[in-house]
Amino acid sequence: MKLVAGLGNPGEKYAMNRHNVGFMAVDRIAEDHGFAPWRAKFQGRVSEGMLGREKVILLKPETFMNKSGQSIGEALRFYKLDPADLIVFHDEIDLAPGKLRVKQGGGHAGHNGLRSIHGHLGEGYGRVRMGVGHPGHKDAVPGYVLRDFAKADQEWLDDVLRGIGDGIPSLVASEGDKFLNAVALRAAPPRSSKTTAKQEPPATQPSEPTPDDRTMLQKLADKFK
């Protein structure tokens, strides 16, 4: 069994924030794989389903971001799972928009949601870092992540979320490379090998010069016409 948690803040006002991209990821997983309806549990919302042969619990903590560890820790203890059985989807300002990285263990890098999880569980859980870009200055970060994605972001964001839905069975099977490849295929689909280059028209060959059969007298006469 795996616990897959997405980080975010509850409520409609936060729904499209960059900080809520973790919620978006687990919502897409539930939708694409026919998980059970969401229900209230563990100070959050949970949905259950199967990915391949693995039973998976999806969780969206509703404790607000900086207390995410309360909800996730409660769920982990209830199912008697280890931190290694947990995968967390979260926003990452140190990655370009649309870039993903899979990581097992490590620090929280100042992310408030991860900081809370560290406090409850330690660092031995997996996480998917979902790039949302950086505003350029650290003082602008709080306002940046708590604003909605721009309209220009919608196309790549949808591609990434669809890729997550495609690849999540591989991720819960501990095949991180296959998961990332599935996302990459959505975000940057390969060009068709059947596409042929436009053929250039054949170069025009210079015509052969016409032989001049005139006599010297005719050439001289034509010169003064």
> The CATH number of the domain where 57 resides is what?
3.40.50.1470
* Residue listed under structure tokens 């990452």: 92
DSSP for residue 160: H
Is 163 part of a structural domain of the chain? yes
Non-local (6+) Cβ contacts of 178 within 8 A are: 167, 170
Is 13 part of a structural domain of the chain? yes
Domains contained in the chain, number: 1
Identify the H or E element spanning 105: none
Is 198 part of a structural domain of the chain? no
| Digit-coded pLDDT (tens) for 143-186 | 999 999 999 999 999 999 999 999 999 999 999 999 999 999 99
Residue 219's pLDDT is 57
| 127 strand-pairing partners | 88, 103
* Residue listed under structure tokens 């998976």: 56
Q: What is the rounded CA–CA span in Å between residue 92 and residue 94?
A: 6
Is 205 part of a structural domain of the chain? no
Q: Which amino acid is at 89?
A: F
Which range, of 39-43, 120-124, 133-137, 220-224, averages the lowest pLDDT?
220-224
Is 16 part of a structural domain of the chain? yes
Alpha helices in 152-215 (DSSP H): 154-172, 176-187
DSSP for residue 206: P
* Residue listed under structure tokens 């069975």: 169
Is 122 part of a structural domain of the chain? yes
Is 20 part of a structural domain of the chain? yes
Confidence label for 198 from pLDDT (cuts 50, 70 and 90): very low
* CA-wise closest residue to 43 among 126, 131, 120, 142: 120
Domain hosting residue 65, numbered range: 2-187
Helices (H) and strands (E) in the chain, counts: 7, 7
Tell me the torsion sign for CA atoms 25, 27, 29, 31.
negative
In 10 A of CB 177, how many CB atoms? Answer: 11
**Catalytic residue flag (residue 137):** no
Residue 202's pLDDT is 46
| Digit-coded pLDDT (tens) for 31-65 | 999 999 999 999 999 999 999 999 999 999 999 99
pLDDT tops 80 at residue 194: no
DSSP for residue 95: S
Sheet containing 2-6: which strands, arranged edge to edge? 39-41, 44-51, 54-61, 2-6, 86-92, 126-131, 100-104
| Digit-coded pLDDT (tens) for 14-31 | 999 999 999 999 999 999
> Mean of the per-residue pLDDT values for the chain?
89
Catalytic position from the list 19, 90, 111, 118:
19
Is 225 part of a structural domain of the chain? no
